[in-house]
Amino acid sequence: MQVSQKGALLACLGIMGFVYFAANIFEQENYPIIENSVYPTDIFFIVISPITIIIAAILVVRHGTTGNHSIAWILFLAGSILWYAADLTYYYNSEYIAENNQSYLVDYLYYSSYFLYFGFMVFYLRPRKNKITKKIIILGIIISTSFIAPSMYFISQKSVDDNAETGINLVYPFLDSMVFVPAFVAVILFFRGEMNFLWITMTLGVVCMAVADTVFLVERYLEIFSASSMANLFFAWKWILFGFGAYSHVRIFGAKVTQ
């Protein structure tokens, strides 16, 4: 029996949700692979995430270096590589320990990824700029503030022991809001029948990334963040959605080039 791509995507998302549910039930923090650093669910980020990077690299090779789509996929590849590098650095610094590492290299890598992902979406939407109205953009900006408000509240409620760390954390809600706007535009175009399966998966991936950041800040404030937290589940879903979205474009590109 042949499984559709959409069916496979839903299955992967469901399986990942079950894995995190089981990890919480069996308290995987008691079974670290590397003490205070890497846990069973982290294997996904270390091993599976590169698949998305490889698919993105294939798209870069196929599209070349000229045109909106070419630039878009170059930016996506660069963003994914930097995000993966940030994840590995995160584990190296043992960030699951309660005391934060004093190096902010991880955050700078994540920051760069946000701008690259934002550029990816802007360049991919550029050929459809005539279909994008100011009303859609303004609505996206208004909705995007929902990522800023709760994060700002929890950050403001936390006692300030490290001004630098507080400043670092304050940046993320604004980055989430920034990448959400073109993602929202893509959703509107999708429901109008003007975007394909690639964009609904990429858009949901961006939404998962923004939600994960917000949940992460809340969990850190409540001191309940762990390897099997909801924040990491949303980050895992982000990689799955990005991977399927990029793969769907490989298939489309295999049939014909759509510029």
Query: Could you report how far apart the first and last alpha carbons of the chain are, in Å?
Result: 34
Task: Retrieve residue 253's tokens.
Answer: 């590109």
- pLDDT given for residue 143 in this prediction: 86
Kindly tell me if the per-residue pLDDT of 151 is higher than 70: yes
Report helix, strand or coil for 28.
Answer: helix
pLDDT, tens digit, 9 for 90 and up, residues 57-69: 998 888 888 888 8
Q: 68 near 127, Cβ under 8 Å?
A: yes
Q: 177 near 145, Cβ under 8 Å?
A: yes
Q: What is the pTM of this model?
A: 0.85
- pLDDT given for residue 257 in this prediction: 43
In this structure, of 58-62, 95-99, 207-211, 245-249, the range with the lowest mean pLDDT score is 95-99
Kindly tell me if the per-residue pLDDT of 166 is higher than 80: no
Q: 9 near 31, Cβ under 8 Å?
A: no
Q: How far apart are CA 63 and CA 72, in angstroms?
A: 10
Mean pLDDT for the chain overall: 81
In this structure, of 88-92, 135-139, 255-259, the range with the lowest mean pLDDT score is 255-259
- Taking each continuous run of H as one helix and of E as one strand, the counts in the chain are 10, 0
- CB atoms inside a 10 Å sphere around CB 160: 9
**Which of the given ranges, 9-13, 78-82, 135-139, has the highest pLDDT on average?**
78-82
Task: Retrieve residue 187's tokens.
Answer: 């959703």
Q: How far is CA 98 from CA 19, 24, 39, 41, 93, in A?
A: 24, 19, 15, 19, 12
Q: How far apart are CA 90 and CA 96, in angstroms?
A: 9
Q: 91 near 38, Cβ under 8 Å?
A: yes
pLDDT, tens digit, 9 for 90 and up, residues 76-128: 999 999 999 998 887 777 644 445 455 678 889 999 999 999 999 899 888 88
Kindly tell me if the per-residue pLDDT of 213 is higher than 80: yes
Specify the number of domains making up the chain: 1
- pLDDT given for residue 124 in this prediction: 85
Q: How far is CA 207 from CA 167, 182, 184, 201, in A?
A: 23, 11, 9, 10
Q: 207 near 185, Cβ under 8 Å?
A: no
Q: Which domain holds residue 30?
A: 5-255
